[in-house]
Structure 1
Amino acid sequence: MSKVLKTKAERVKEGVSLLQQLREAGVKEYYDGFQELQNTVKEWVNSGEPWQGVVPFPEYGRVAEVELPKWNNRAAGIHFKVKKRM
């Protein structure tokens, strides 16, 4: 399968799914981490530019490792991980 850019509709569907997964895990929308991730997803949906990074969720002692790809051969993903203490 050749690489094709994700359509805006595909990015919307995947972005909504990622945010819904966090809600279902009990993450409240009013926390800073959720708001930051929501804004990042909105930028990705509108621009189509890939993004990969970590969003802190200090209220939960966790971080979200996020991948928002450009190509349709990869799905957007999120891993909500316990933050390791140093």
Structure 2
Amino acid sequence: RCFSTVTRWLYHFGVVWKTKDCFRCECQPRAMICCSLVFRPTNYDRENCIALFHRKSCSMRVVWKSDPQEPCNVFAGVG
């Protein structure tokens, strides 16, 4: 079994869960493996735009600093 220090729960092998911090975790016989579910933008206009994290949807949105209602172009990301 696996113990998660984040959720403070004990999981059986093969169980998969999503954490409140947007990670997908899986309990395997030799390890607990967690990977981020969030696509992180890496190539956008950082001078004029800002990336906003939305925890409920596990997503990021890149918007203009001058008008947060308007999305910015994102050319690359990780995740």
Give the TM-score taking structure 1 as reference length.
0.30
**Rg: which structure is higher?**
2
Relative to its length, the structure with more strand (as a share) is 2
Higher-RCO chain (CA-CA 8 Å, sequence separation at least 6): 1
Relative to its length, the structure with more helix (as a share) is 1
